[in-house]
Every structure is written in structure tokens, then in C-alpha cells.
Amino acid sequence: MIEKNKNCVIYGGTFDPPHLGHLFLAEAARREQSAEQVIFLPAGDPPHKKNKKITDARDRLNMVRLAVKDNPYFNVSDFEIKQTGLSYTAKTLRYFKSEGFNVSFIIGADSLDEIFSWKDPEYILANSRLLVLPRKNYNIDKILTKDKYKKYIDNINKLAVGRIDFSSSQIRERIKSNKRIKYMTPFEVEEYIVRKRLYLKSETVDQTKFAQIDNYLKNNMSDDRYQHTLRVIETASNIAGNKDYLEKVKIAALCHDLCKGYPESKLQRLVKNSNWPLKSFEYKEASLLHGPASAYLTEKKFDITDNQILEAIRYHTIGHPDLGLIGKIIFLADKIEPGRDYPGRGEIYKLALDDIEQAILKLTNHNLEYLMNRNIEIHPNLILLRNSILGGRNNNE
């Protein structure tokens, strides 16, 4: 919740993606300025970068929200993202001032150097404080000796924070070369990037893949498991109905247990090779490893690169609070297919044909009760998924 009438530091940027450097710097600036809060302001369509291809604004906004959620002094504003047309710092400043904010902007020394080419630079310089970050090849003191800055010198401060030596572009490059980005950005942001396959090419699904994979499974899976897979495909297809995503649902269902039954060491090796981030809970519990391992092998072995399919396979066991529709269908179908035997299963199946969210709620309630009665540890995702359906957090899907 953004609090008004307070000194705030506005930190604008494309945040494509946000990383620990942004967070470290924002917190350092807040402390240095004794500001009550930092408002992260993801750019909509910035005029200075109009020739560069940037990630969809909604994804960048979602990532910044995930990145800042654990700091009570950090907030996110979607003001610039919601603007139609190009957004300008002067317009943003007018808005925040009209809302009663006392504003400081974090900007780079490169931006300070070119600020007189922006729209209404005098208004910005007279009505806000600029917190300037050092940039290679820019000497802030030298820039400020120019006459045009002199009038505003009291409103321009150098930020005395250290240099952070990694950048969003470095993260994007690492992902493109299939390298992990652990500890460069918060866990949830890393997970979001991998889940949505950001910074990678997404391809359409080749319809001939189904027969090819089905044939492989028939020959390589135990009959019991293959029959379970067929029932999950049928259940998931019934829930999906005749929608245009039915083919994706069928492939996700077909591959969801691809690695189930593999020895623990093999599962661990597959997961280690994959880019899917895991917390220790999942890693130490062998029965949870086949989700991410199956997603990894589906991509590697059958060249399936669709993010909705891979996400559904990866989270079919533990769920995820932001699961997409295909993910929700597979999560449900796996647990309510007619081969499963527990009281209330048929009822949840019927409900799923009508209302997927309510069926998941009923299923998670049942699972939680089962796990609690047996004193079994509960993976947090199960609770987060349930909360997201009860409205505990915004679902941006």
C-alpha cells in the first residue's frame, strides 16, 4: 500500500528484470535520504528506449511486485505502465505531487547529463530532488559545473552507494545461454522468469509430438503409470472441454509423470541440470522431484518449449499460487482421475467440470486435512495456491 504525504524516493526503470542490485541500491538510497519509502516505478513505454525491445509491461510489473514484497518500505506503482502513449518524468512528477508526495528521483549520471533534452526539465529540477548514481564515463561533478545546472544545485545529490556489478542485461544474457541466475534476483523472480520462459524464444506446439511421446511412454513406463497417464489425459480433456488450448492440455497431461519412478539420484541430476529453481523442501523430498525433472526432460527430449505446458508439468505436484489455467487443470486432473480412491473424489471431479477454482479449493482443503492428520510436512505452495483462490493475493494471470 503506497502511503501519501511522505518523503518518498521514486525509482523508475524498465526492470527487465529487477535484480538484487536494484533492491540493494533502493534500500541504501532510502536510508541515506531517511525517506519513509521507495516507490518502484516500472516504465511503460519510455521515450528514451523506444527502439529497444523490452518485455511485456505486465510481466515486468509482476516481477517488481515479487521482488519488493518482503520489504515494508518498498512499494510499486503502475502509474507509468498504465499511461497511454509515451510517459515522461515531468508528467509522473506532476501526478505524484498532486497526490501529496514529496519526491526524490533516483537517476543515473547519464540521465543527469541529458536531462535538458527531456520534457520540462526545469519543472523536474525545481520540484524534486535528484539522487544521482555514478555511471562509467560520466563525471557528476563535471556535469554540475555547467551553468544550466547551477540554479538547481541544492536539489541534486550524489548517491554515495557502491557500484553493483551486475545488470539486467547480464541476467538476460545468462538466461539465453542457459545459465542459472540464482542469487542475482530474488527466488520468486527467478521462478517467474523460468515459469514464463522470459528472455527465451517460445514456440508453437507441433501436433505430431503427441503420438511420438505417447509411443515413447508406452514402451518406457510401467503399465500402471501409463494407465494413470491416460486417465489424467482424459480427465484433463474433460475439464478443458473443446477449447483452443486442449492440445496443450493433452501434451502436459501426457508428460506430467515422465520421470516418476526414476531413482532419486537420477531425478536429482536432472533437476540440477535444469533451470527450475527449487527450495530445499522440494529437493530433499524425492516424491516431489519428478515434477521439475519431468518438465526438464519434456523440453530436452521432445523439444517442447511452450511455457504453459512446462509450467503445468513442473508444478503438477505442489501447485503454485500463480498457476495458469493449463497448470490448474493438470494439478486437478492428476489428483481426481477415476483411478484415485478417496472419499469425495467424485464430487470434486463433478465440481471441476463446472468451476475449476472451487474444485481446487475443495481439493486443497482435502489434501491439507489429510496431511495434517498424518503429521506430514506441507509444502508452502499448497497453502499459497489455496490462498490465491480465496483472494489472499492478486492473481495476475
Nearer to Fe ion among residue 49 and residue 266 (C-beta): 266
Q: How far is the CB of 290 from Fe ion (least distance, A)?
A: 6
Q: How far is the CB of 224 from Fe ion (least distance, A)?
A: 11
Q: How far is the CB of 64 from Fe ion (least distance, A)?
A: 33
- The span from the CA of 185 to the CA of 133, in Å, is 20
Q: How far is the CB of 66 from Fe ion (least distance, A)?
A: 26
Nearer to Fe ion among residue 73 and residue 226 (C-beta): 226
- The span from the CA of 360 to the CA of 385, in Å, is 9
Nearer to Fe ion among residue 257 and residue 311 (C-beta): 257
- The span from the CA of 1 to the CA of 132, in Å, is 26
Q: How far is the CB of 317 from Fe ion (least distance, A)?
A: 5
Longest dimension (CA), the chain: 81
Nearer to Fe ion among residue 113 and residue 257 (C-beta): 257
Burial degree of 178 (CB within 10 A; 0-12, 13-18, 19+): exposed
Q: How far is the CB of 390 from Fe ion (least distance, A)?
A: 25
Nearer to Fe ion among residue 193 and residue 363 (C-beta): 363
- Strand bridging mode 7-13 / 156-158: unpaired
Q: How far is the CB of 291 from Fe ion (least distance, A)?
A: 6
Q: How far is the CB of 236 from Fe ion (least distance, A)?
A: 11
- The span from the CA of 76 to the CA of 329, in Å, is 31
Burial degree of 336 (CB within 10 A; 0-12, 13-18, 19+): buried
Other CB atoms within 10 Å distance of the CB of residue 279? 12
Residues of this chain that bind Fe ion (CB under 5 A):
257, 334
Nearer to Fe ion among residue 8 and residue 313 (C-beta): 313
Other CB atoms within 10 Å distance of the CB of residue 45? 15
- The span from the CA of 309 to the CA of 255, in Å, is 9
Nearer to Fe ion among residue 299 and residue 334 (C-beta): 334
Single out the residue of 53, 61, 80 nearest to residue 17, CA to CA: 61
Residue 329 and residue 357 in contact, taking contact as beta carbons nearer than 8 Å = no
**Preceding amide of 17 cis, omega within 30:** yes
Nearer to Fe ion among residue 9 and residue 259 (C-beta): 259
Q: Which residue has the cell 530445499?
A: 280
Nearer to Fe ion among residue 257 and residue 322 (C-beta): 257
Ramachandran category for residue 261: left, alpha or beta (phi over 0 → left; psi -120 to 50 → alpha) = left
Half-sphere exposure of 172 (CA within 13 A, CB side): 13
Q: How far is the CB of 247 from Fe ion (least distance, A)?
A: 19
